[in-house]
Amino acid sequence: MRDLKRLLVALVTVVGLGLVGATAASAQVQFIASSSGARPIRVEGMTEATGTIVLAANTAGVIVSGSTIACDYGTAVLDCSGAVAFNGGNTSGFLTKSCSGNVVTLSFISNQAFVPGDSLTVSGVRVNANALGTGNNVNVAVTASVPAANQVTNPITLIVFTTLTVATVQAKAITVKFNTE
C-alpha cells in the first residue's frame, strides 16, 4: 500500500509539472519568415533599396520586452533605412529599429501580443550593392533572442523554408553613344 501511495504521488507530481510546462509553452510566438523575392538592384549603387521581409505569426503568444529580432543583410545597411510595420501600420511604440553594419535589429521595448495572421514587415532597407558585385544576391539571415528569464516561457521561433533573397545585383547598364556626324 505504501509503495502504491508513493507511486501515485510521483505520478500526480509528474502530470502536474507537465501541465504547468504545457501552459508556459503556449506563450511561444512562431513566425513563418518569407521575402517578397529578389528585387533587381544596380551594381554601381551604393544605396539600393531591397525587397520586403515578412514575419507572419503562426501561433498566438507574447513577445516580451527585451526580445530582439535581427536581420543580417550580408552587406552594409546604409543610414538605418527602411520601414518596419505591424499588420501594415505603425509599431505602436512597442518596437524600435536600429542598425549596425550589416544588421537591422528590431527591439521590443514592451510586451506585445501576437495572434495567428499578425505580421511584422521590414521593407526598403538600403544596402551597398557595389560591395557585393554583379550577379550576387542580397540574402537575409533572421535570428531572434529572448531575455534569459523568458527563454522557456516566451520563446520566439522562426520558420524559414527558403533563403530570404531580397535583391539581386545587376550588371552595369551599357552606355550607347550615337555618332551624330
Residues 6+ apart with CB under 8 A from 96: 106, 107, 109
pLDDT score, position 141: 94
CA atoms within 13 A on the CB side of 155: 10
Domains of the chain: 27-170 (2.60.40)
pLDDT at residue 45, rounded to an integer = 86
Task: Encode pLDDT of 65-102 as tens digits.
Answer: 999 999 999 999 998 888 999 999 988 789 999 999 99
Give backbone dihedrals phi and psi of 110, rounded to 5 degrees, phi first: -150, 165
pLDDT tens digits for 144-175?
999 988 888 888 888 887 789 999 999 887 76
Q: Quick one: the chain helix, strand, coil %, rounded to 5? A: 15, 40, 45
| pLDDT value at residue 153 | 83
Residue 18 has pLDDT above 90, yes or no: no
Q: C-alpha 15: how far from its chain's center?
A: 35
Alpha-carbon torsion 109, 126, 38, 142, what sign?
A: negative
CA distance 44 to 131: 9
**Mean pLDDT computed over 32-55:** 92
Examine the pLDDT at 15 and tell me if it is beyond 70.
no
